[in-house]
Structure 1
Amino acid sequence: MQKTENNSSLVWFRNDLRTIDNIVLSEATKSKKRVVGLYCFDPKYFKDNKYGFKTTEKFRAKFLLETIIDLKVQLKKLNIDLLVYQSAPEDTISEIVSTYNVSDIYLQNDWTKDEMASETTVQSLIPDVKFHKYYNQLLYHPDNINFEINNLPQVFTVFRKKLEKYVGIREEAINEILPLSNRIENNTKIPTLQDLGFDDFETHPNSAFPFKGGESEALIRLEDYFFNTKRLGFYKKARNGLVGLDYSSKFSPWLANGSISARTIYWQVKKFEKEHVKNQSTYWLIFELIWRDYFKYVSLKHGSQIFKLEGILKKEYNWSTNKNLIEKWINGETQSDFVNANMIELKETGWMSNRGRQNVASYFAKELKLDWRIGAAYFESLLLDYDVHSNFGNWMYVAGVGNDPRDRKFNVNLQAERYDANGNFRRLWLQASLF
C-alpha cells in the first residue's frame, strides 16, 4: 500500500453508519484534507460474553454486514473510500495513521465502557494525532438542553416536559462532495457472514422485520411508512401490535447502528405534518424518539452503574441465576404462552415487539426473579436493534432498579388478553394444538 504524502483526516465509523446527517463525516469533509473512512469488525463483539451468549448473534451480524456494504457505496458517492478490517481498532489504526499520514481522527462521542476503553487505547498509541469527537446519536444535543446532565430528572415525563416545548432540534448536518482525487487505493474487503463465524441463513417467513441493513434501506422504509402508505398517521393506534410489518415504524435497527439519525426522522415527521396530517400519532413517534434520548442521557449521567445489578437506584433484591429457569425462558417453555411466543419469535428472527419486550423482561425479573443482567445480555445477543443505552435502561426499568418510580410488574395473562385477544400472535409462534 503506497504511503500518502499529504495529511489525511480519518473518519472512524462506529454506530454512526450513514452519510446523511452525520456530523462526524460532515466536519471531516470540511477539513480541507484527504478524507478516509474506517470500519473495524472487532472480534471481541463476536465472542461469547460472561453469560455464555455470543455478544452479537447471526441476525445483527448479517444486518451489520449489509449496512457496511451500503455505507461503502454511499461514501463512494462523496469520493471517500471505506477501509474495512476484521480486527480491533487498537490493532489497526496505528498502521493506517502511518500509511495515510493521518493528522486528525473524527469520531462519534461514545461514552459506554467498551467503546471508551478501545478509544483510550488507540489514543495512547498515536499521541500526536488530534481527535475530534461529536455527539452524533441524540435528538437533543447536550449543548442545547436546559439543565446540567448531572441534574437529569429521575422520571422520563419531567425530562420530556423540560425539553419538548423549550429546546429546538438542530438541522441535519451537510457533507461536502470531495474531488475525485480524494480516492485512494483500497484493497480491503468486507468480511462474509462465514468470516464472522456464522452460517448463512434465510429470514424467517413470519418475521415482522424482514428488512435489510443500511442507510438506503432505512430511507426506503421511511418513505414507505410515512409518505407512500401514510401509516405514520395511525402509528399511535397500531404501535402495540404484534404481527406484521406495519404495526410500528420498525426504525429501531437502523437507529441502533446509526444507519439513520433521530434528527432525520424528526424532520421527516415535521414534513409529513405539513403535507398531510398532524395528530397524536405523529406526536407519538417523536415521543418515542425522546424516550430513546432519555436512556442515552441516563447512561451519560450514570456511566457504568447501568450495568450493575443494583442499577442506578442501588436497590438490593434477591436475584436468582437458576440455569433451568433461564433456559426455559430462552426456549419459550415457561408457564406463560404469551411469554413463550415472544421468546420463540426472538430466537427465530432476532426481533420482538416493544409490547413483547416489556412482558418477557418483567416476567424474567419479577416473576422468575432472575438476575436481570442475564436477560439484558441475551437481548444484546439476539436483538437486531440492540442499543446499549435503551437495552440496559429498559431492563433496569422493568427490574425495579432504574427509572420507574412505580416499580410495576406486568400481568402477562391480562396483557395477552388485551393485545392478543384472538390468539393470532401466539398461534403464529406456538403449536396450533395449544389452542
Structure 2
Amino acid sequence: MKSRRILVWFRNDLRLHDNEMLVEAIAKSERILPVYFFDPRYFEITNFDTLKTGIQRSRFLIESVRALRTAFQRFSGDILLVKGRPEDHILNLTERFEISEVYHHREVGPEETAISAAVEDALWKQKINLRHFIGHTLYNKEDLPFPIRDIPDVFSQFKKKTERDAVVKACFDTPEKISFVENEEWGVLPGPEDLGFGVEESVPDALQGGEAAGLAHLEELLTPSSVIYYKPSGKTGDKNGFSSRLSAWLSLGCLSPRMVYWKFKAAEERIGGNANFNQVLLGLLWRDYYRFMFKKHGIRFFREPGLEILVQEPEMPDSREVADWKAGNTGNALVDRYMRELNNTGFIPHAARLVVATFLVHVAGGHWTKGAAYFEEKLLDYSPASNWGNWANIAGTGLGAGHKGAFDIEKQIKLLETAAAESTSVA
C-alpha cells in the first residue's frame, strides 16, 4: 500500500508556529515534503518599469527561507527549493515523490490567486487535490460575524462588529515531531545575484529575515525597557511615527498575526495598555480588513474606470514630478527625508507612508498606481492587499475612501505645509 505523502507548498507562511497547514499535513500524512518555489515572475520588471521585488525584500526573503530550512533541519529534514513557476514543476514533484495531496495557503491578490488556480488545474490532471488554508489573518473568515459577501466596506463598521462579535482563536502549537519524505537533493538557496541583482550594497539598519529573528524582535519589543512602553515624540510629522517594525515578518508569514495579538494581550495584562499597544493591534485589524476586501470585491475594490488598462499600460516614462518624488528630490524636507529613508532601508513608518503618498497624489499630481508600484518594489513589508488598498484609499478611489476616519487628507497636507515652511525658514 502506497504511503500517504503530502506536499506542503510554502508561500508567505515561512514559520513553524501557529501554522495550521503544517500541523494538518503532519497529522494527516506519514511523511511531508516541504517545498518553496522561487518564482521568476516575482523578480521581473513590471509594466511600471519597477521591480516586482526589490533588493531589500529579496534579501529578507532569502534569509527567511534559510531560517525555515534551518528549522526543518533541526527535525532531521529540509525544504525543497525550486527555482521556477509552481505550475511548471508541481506534476513532476507529485510523481517523483508519490504525493497524494498538496497543501497551501490561499492568497487574495489577483496574481497570487491566478498562480493557485494554475497549480490546481495542473494537479487536477493527476486527480490530486490542492487543499487551501487561510493563515494570514487575525480572524478566520468562518469566525467573522458576517459572511464574506456582507463584510462592511467601511473600516470603522468592520472594526466595531468584528471586535464585538468575533473571537481571536488560540495559536496552533509548534510541531514537536516531523517525518519527511526521503530525498538527497534539496536544492541550493539562491543569493541576490541568482535573482537578477548586481553586487550587494550594505543596508543600514537592516532587519534580519526569518521566524527566529521575528520572534526575538517581538520578545525584545515587549520587554519593560522597550520604546513601545513610552509615548512617542519627535520632530514635525513624527509624533505618530512610532512603528513596531513587525510588519516585515508578518508580510512573509515569519510571524503569525495571532501570535502577535496574544503576546500583546499578555503584556497588557501584566502592565496595562497604552497608545502604542493599541496602534499595533489596530494595524493587525487593518491588515485583515484589506485582505477581506480583496476577497469580497477583487478588482472592484478600486472604483476607477479603466484601471486594468491603466495598470497594464501606465504612462511612461515617469513625469518629472514622479521621478523627483521617487528620488527624494521634491524640495519638501519631510517628503524627501522619508523617501530617501525608504530607498535606503526599505522601510518607513505608516504615518510617513501617508505623508509621502499624499504628496505624490494630491500635491505633485502623480497617479496613485505609480506610487503603489514603487512601494511594491521598495517596501520590505510589501503585502498586495494592504499596499494597493491603502494607496487607493489615499487617492479616494478605494471603497473605504471618503468615510470619516478612513484617511484625513487635510491633516497630511498640513504636515507637508508645516515641513515646507520649516525648511524655508532654515534655508
TM-score, with structure 2 as normaliser: 0.88
* Aligned partner of 2:31 among 4, 16, 34: 34
Q: C-alpha displacement at 1:257, in angstroms?
A: 0.8
Return the structure number with greater relative CO, CA threshold 8 A, min gap 6.
Answer: 2
* 1:415 corresponds to 2:415: yes
Please state how far the C-alpha of 1:260 moved relative to its aligned partner.
0.3
Match of 1:316 in 2: none
Question: What residue in structure 2 maps to residue 189 of structure 1?
Answer: 188
2:286 corresponds to 1:287: no
Aligned-partner Cα distance in 1 for 2:201–2:82: 25
Q: Which whole-Å CA distance do the structure 2 matches of 1:258 and 1:335 have between them?
A: 37
The answer as to 2:267 corresponding to 1:272 is yes
Encode CA deviations 1:364-402: one digit per residue, 9 max, x unaligned.
112222221111011001100000010011001100011
| 1:24 and 1:106 in contact (8 A); partners too | yes
Q: Which residue of 2 aligns with 1:88?
A: 85
Decide which moves more: 120-129 or 134-143.
120-129
CA shift digits 1:152-184 (9 cap, x unpaired): 222211111101132110111124433566553
Is the contact between residue 242 and residue 353 of structure 1 (CA under 8 Å) also seen in structure 2?
A: no
Aligned pair 1:387/2:386, yes or no? no
Tell me which residue corresponds to 1:115.
Answer: 112
Q: Choose the corresponding residue for 2:350, options 335, 349, 354.
A: 354
- Determine if contact 2:78/2:186 at 8 Å carries over to the other structure: no
Q: Provide Cα deviations, 1:396-433, integer angstroms capped at 9, x if missing partner.
A: 1100011122574256563258799998xx9xxxxxx9
* 1:399 corresponds to: 395
Q: 1:337 aligns with which of 323, 333, 352?
A: 333
Cα deviation code 1:45-73 (max 9, x no counterpart): 10100010011110100000000000111
Classify the secondary structure of the residue corresponding to 2:194.
coil
Pick closer, same or farther for the CA change 1:224–1:408 going to 2, 3 Å. closer
1: distance between equivalents of 2:420 and 2:266? Answer: 34
Change (3 A) 1:106 1:320: closer
1:15-30 pair list within 5 angstroms: 15-30=12-27
* Structure 1 position 346, deviation (Å): 1.3
Q: For residues 30 and 416 of structure 1, what CA distance do their matches in structure 2 show?
A: 55
1:311-352 Cα shifts (integer Å, max 9, x gaps): 99xxxxxx9875222111111122422111111111122112
Bigger CA drift: 284-293 or 8-17?
284-293
Cα distance, 1:138 vs structure 2: 0.4
Q: Which amino acid aligns with 1:345?
A: E
Gaps of 5+ in 2: 308-313
- Trace 1:96-115 onto structure 2 (pairs within 5 A): 96-115=93-112
Deviations 1:173-227 (A, max 9, x none): 124433566553233111111101113434443x4xx211111110110010112
* Distance across 2 between alignment mates of 1:151 and 1:32: 37
Q: Which amino acid aligns with 1:189?
A: V
| Residues 61 and 193 in structure 1, CA contact (< 8 A), matched pair in contact too | yes
The one-character-per-residue Cα deviations of 1:130-171 (angstroms, maximum 9, x if unpaired) are 121111100011001001222222221111110113211011
Where 1:54 maps in the other structure, the secondary structure is: coil
- Aligned residues with identical type, % of pairs: 29
Query: Matched residues in 2 for 1:240 and 1:140: separation?
Result: 36
**Equivalent in 251, 254, 258 of residue 256 of structure 1:** 251
Task: Find out whether 1:154 has 2:153 as its counterpart.
Answer: yes
- Runs of 4+ in structure 1 over 6 Å off: 239-243, 417-423
CA positional deviation for 1:282: 2.5
Q: 1:341 to 1:283 in 2, by over 3 A?
A: closer
Change (3 A) 1:179 1:379: closer
Residue identity opposite 2:93 in structure 1: I
Checking the alignment, whether the CA contact within 8 Å between 1:400 and 1:408 is kept in structure 2 is no
Q: CA contact under 8 A between 2:33 and 2:180: conserved in structure 1?
A: no
Deviation of 1:98 (Å): 0.8
Q: How many residues align?
A: 413
Query: Shift of residue 76 of structure 1?
Result: 2.5
Give the corresponding residue for 2:68.
71
> In 2, Cα distance between the equivalents of 1:404 and 1:179?
46
Per-residue Cα deviation, 1:84-129 (whole angstroms, up to 9, x for no partner):
0111101111111011111111110112211121122222222111
* Superposed CA offset, 1:253-288 (max 9, x none): 110111101100001011112223234432332122
Distance 1:81 1:123, change over 3 A: same
Letter in 2 for 1:409: I
Q: Distance in 2 between matches of 1:358 and 1:148?
A: 31
When residues 185 and 434 of structure 1 are mapped into structure 2, their CA distance, relative to the original with a 3 A threshold, is farther
Residue 232 in structure 1 maps to residue 233 in structure 2:
no
* 8 Å contact from structure 2 (residues 303, 397) kept in 1: no
Letter of the structure 1 residue corresponding to residue 216 of structure 2? I
- Under a length normalisation based on structure 1, what TM-score does the superposition of the two structures give? 0.87
The one of 297, 300, 307 equivalent to 1:302 is 297
